[in-house]
Amino acid sequence: MNTLHKVMKYTGKCGPFLLFLPTVFFLSNKKSALIYYVTGFFLNSIANVCLKLLIQQPRPSDDKPKFDLALERGKQFLYIPYDVFGMPSGHSQSVAFTTVFVFLTIKSNLFRLFCLVISSITLWQRVEYNHHTILQVVVGSMVGGLISYLIFYMNKKNIGGLIKEKCDDNAPI
């Protein structure tokens, strides 16, 4: 494996983390957006685990007997190991969440490009190394993007506040 391939492999593997830290830094001067981003990031992760437990689709790298054994043991001990499941891709969901949030809140084109590159590498890596199918990556990206938009919308609505008509102060016209 050549050096570029190793860099791509580890960049994709660490993609969510590589996007999370600089995004927190860029949002440090926008306190409301920062709070919504961090909260949304963790809610997005919880949503991913819930969806994996609900859908229970195996990863493409798992053979059927291994998958069935993991499910059987998981049910036996009242614990289902969510990391056995592949739908939706958690990495894809996380990088899409961050990238969409960055595009909606941060105006730096250079940072936007950085997010796109890391996200693209992550999506490619998940399929290339047989961790997920293309459908699992696409669904993860769509779910992450949707959650990100909803979190951004809540932040925007919170910043705008309620617009009320001002009471008449009986001033002359």
Q: What is residue 130's predicted lDDT score, i.e. its pLDDT?
A: 85
* 8 A C-beta contact, residue 152 and residue 60: no
Over 90: is that where the pLDDT of 92 sits?
yes
- Give the rounded percent of residues in the chain with a pLDDT score beyond 90: 51
Tokens of residue 13, six digits: 């593997």
Neighbours of 60 (CB within 10 A): 14
Tokens linked to 173 = 């016209």
Q: Which residue has the tokens 């997920």?
A: 132
What value, to the nearest 5°, has the Cα angle with vertex 99 and ends 94 and 101?
Answer: 95
Note the pTM of the prediction, 2 decimals.
Answer: 0.80
pLDDT above 70 (res 118): yes
pLDDT confidence band for 93 (50 / 70 / 90): very high
**Is the predicted pLDDT of residue 158 greater than 60, yes or no?**
yes
Whole-angstrom CA distances from 98 to 13, 32, 85, 101, 110 are 15, 16, 22, 5, 15
Model pLDDT for residues 34-79, shown as the tens digit of each residue: 999 999 999 999 999 899 888 888 888 666 666 666 666 655 434 5
